[in-house]
C-alpha cells in the first residue's frame, strides 16, 4: 500500500484517538514534511483537514440521528467545549449543530465520506535527471494559499506576467513557480518569479528569495500545463515513496524555460523536487 493509502487507513481506523501529522506520517513510513505535501497533492486537502472534516461529518450524522447531548457529540469529535465545536461545525457546514439536530436531516451538507483512492497516477514516471542546483536569487510576486484557494495560482501568473522582462537585474527569460513555507495544514506560499542578479533595486511590490544549493530530482511534464497536478501527484504519491529517496525540507519549484508557451500552455515544464543527498 502506498503512503497515502496507509495514512487514510490509519486515520479512518483511529478517528476516535488523538491524531497528529507526526503520528500519521510514522505509520505511512514517510517524513512529516513529505506527508504534508503528498497528501494535499493526492487527496486535494491536507491530512489534518481531512481528519477534522471526517470527525465533523460523523458528528453531523449523530446529530441528525437525534443525539441527546451536543456537548457529548463535541467531546467525541475531539472538541473540549460546545462553543469550539459549534464554531468548527458552522465553518464546515454553514449551519449550527442545533439546526442539524432539529431538522434531523443532512440534506445540502458537504459531508466528507471516507476517501477511496483511484489509480489516477502516471505509469513509469522517472526523473529526466538529477542535479545539484546552484545558489541564486529570484524576485517575483508571492501569495499564500490554502487547500481552498490554491486554484488561484494561474491568476497570480497573470498578475506577474507584465513584470517579466522589466525587473531590474533580471537574468535570462526562465520563470519559476516556487512552493515554500508549507505549514503541514495544507497551506503554502507560492512565488511566481524570475532570476535576478541583485535584489537591492527591486520595486517595493516584489518579493525576493535566495534559492540555496540543493540536490534535485528533475521531472519533465510534457503535456498541457492544465494537467500538471497529475504529474505532481505521481511524483509525491508514487515515485518518491518507491524511489528510496527522502525529500529535503527545501523549496520545490516548476521551471518554465524557452520551451514553454505561456499563451497556449504547451511546450513542457520541469518540476524540481529537493531530495536529500
Tell me the three cell numbers of residue 167: 525587473
What's the average model confidence in pLDDT over 232-256?
92
Instruction: Please list, in sequence order, all residues whose beta carbon lies within 8 angstroms of the beta carbon of residue 181, skipping any fewer than 6 positions away.
Output: 188, 189
pLDDT at 118 over 70: no
pLDDT at 277 over 80: no
Per-residue confidence band for 119, with pLDDT thresholds at 50, 70 and 90 = low
Burial of 243 (0-12, 13-18, 19+ CB in 10 A): middle
Question: Does the residue 121 lie in any domain?
Answer: no
CA gap 233, 227 in Å, rounded: 10
Q: How many domains does the chain have?
A: 2
Residue 87: give the domain boundaries.
Answer: 3-103
Considering the domain architecture, whether residues 149 and 232 belong to the same structural domain is answered as: yes
> Of 85, 103, 121, which one is at a domain's C-terminal end?
103
pLDDT (0 to 100) of residue 252:
96
CA gap 225, 269 in Å, rounded: 8
Share of the chain above pLDDT 70, in %: 99
Q: Give Dmax (Cα) for the chain.
A: 67
DSSP lists the bridge partners of residue 205 as none
> Of 103, 121, 140, which one is at a domain's C-terminal end?
103
Considering the domain architecture, whether residues 152 and 212 belong to the same structural domain is answered as: yes
Per-residue confidence band for 189, with pLDDT thresholds at 50, 70 and 90 = very high
Per-residue confidence band for 225, with pLDDT thresholds at 50, 70 and 90 = confident
CA gap 180, 261 in Å, rounded: 25
pLDDT at 92 over 60: yes
Per-residue confidence band for 194, with pLDDT thresholds at 50, 70 and 90 = very high
What's the average model confidence in pLDDT over 111-129?
83
Considering the domain architecture, whether residues 199 and 255 belong to the same structural domain is answered as: yes
pLDDT at 1 over 60: no
Considering the domain architecture, whether residues 99 and 134 belong to the same structural domain is answered as: no
Amino acid at each position: 500500500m502506498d503512503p497515502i493509502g496507509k495514512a487514510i487507513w490509519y486515520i479512518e481506523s483511529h478517528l476516535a484517538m488523538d491524531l497528529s501529522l507526526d503520528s500519521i506520517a510514522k505509520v505511512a513510513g514517510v517524513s512529516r514534511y513529505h506527508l504534508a505535501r503528498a497528501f494535499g497533492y493526492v487527496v486535494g486537502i491536507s491530512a489534518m483537514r481531512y481528519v477534522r472534516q471526517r470527525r465533523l461529518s460523523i458528528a453531523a450524522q449523530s446529530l441528525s440521528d437525534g443525539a441527546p447531548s451536543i456537548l457529548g457529540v463535541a467531546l467525541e469529535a475531539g472538541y473540549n467545549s460546545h462553543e469550539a465545536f459549534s464554531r468548527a461545525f458552522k465553518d464546515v457546514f454553514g449551519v449550527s449543530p442545533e439546526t442539524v439536530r432539529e431538522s434531523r436531516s443532512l440534506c445540502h451538507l458537504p459531508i466528507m465520506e471516507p476517501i477511496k483512492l483511484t489509480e489516477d497516477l502516471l505509469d513509469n514516471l522517472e526523473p529526466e535527471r538529477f542535479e545539484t542546483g546552484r545558489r541564486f536569487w529570484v524576485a517575483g510576486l508571492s501569495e499564500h494559499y490554502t487547500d481552498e484557494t490554491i486554484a488561484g495560482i494561474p491568476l497570480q501568473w497573470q498578475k506577474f506576467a507584465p513584470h517579466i522582462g522589466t525587473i531590474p537585474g533580471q537574468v535570462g527569460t526562465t520563470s519559476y513557480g516556487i512552493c515554500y513555507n508549507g505549514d503541514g495544514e495544507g497551506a503554502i506560499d507560492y512565488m511566481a518569479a524570475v532570476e535576478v542578479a541583485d535584489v537591492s533595486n527591486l520595486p517595493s511590490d516584489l518579493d525576493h528569495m535566495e534559492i540555496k544549493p540543493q540536490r534535485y530530482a528533475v521531472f519533465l511534464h510534457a503535456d498541457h500545463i492544465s494537467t500538471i497536478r497529475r504529474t505532481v501527484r505521481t511524483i509525491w504519491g508514487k515515485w518518491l515513496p518507491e524511489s528510496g529517496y527522502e525529500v529535503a525540507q527545501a523549496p520545490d519549484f516548476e521551471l518554465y524555460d524557452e520551451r514553454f508557451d505561456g499563451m497556449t500552455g504547451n511546450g513542457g515544464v520541469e518540476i524540481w523536487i529537493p531530495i536529500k543527498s
